[in-house]
Amino acid sequence: MEHRSGTWGEFGYPLTTDPANRVWDVDVGRSKAADAYWDNVPGNPVTRGPFNLINTDAPSLDPSPGNAAIPGVELDIRRAVFRTYLYCNCELTRLVKWTREKLGKGPMIYTEMSLETPTAADQAFINATLKAQGFVPVP
């Protein structure tokens, strides 16, 4: 299997070319948000209520404009792997792992969805990623 290098999407997220060394990105759309919380990014679809918070994210997986003309790109396997961290009262309470993929010309599908109890290693990963991308770590 050939792994394409470069970036993906309108925000230029770097692609993972080695599955053993994944590239993680804080998904705030390169906004000028003061923090890395999805619900604080202007324009993100968020519904708030007294007992709930609903966020929606549905990445397109279309080729980046610069890659759209590459012969065979429409047959690529495109896969986006996500980790969503849920905080309540400033405490990490759940980890949601989900994958969205598109196989060639087929439809986009969600796969590998799970809801997990986080560990101290998850919090360390979050803070290392936030710090590496210029955000303040979670206390």
For 39-49, give one letter per residue: b (16+ CB within 10 A) or e.
eebeebeeeee
Task: Identify the pLDDT of residue 49.
Answer: 79
The DSSP bridge partners found for residue 79 are: 101
Whether residue 2 is predicted with pLDDT greater than 60 in this model: the reply is no
In 9-135, beta strands by DSSP E:
13-14, 46-49, 52-55, 77-88, 91-103, 108-116
Q: What is the mean pLDDT of residues 33-38?
A: 68
Q: pLDDT for 112-136, tens place per residue?
A: 899 999 999 999 998 898 888 888 7
Q: pLDDT for 108-118, tens place per residue?
A: 888 889 999 99
Task: Identify the pLDDT of residue 4.
Answer: 61
Q: For the whole model, what pTM was predicted? A: 0.69
Task: Identify the pLDDT of residue 67.
Answer: 63
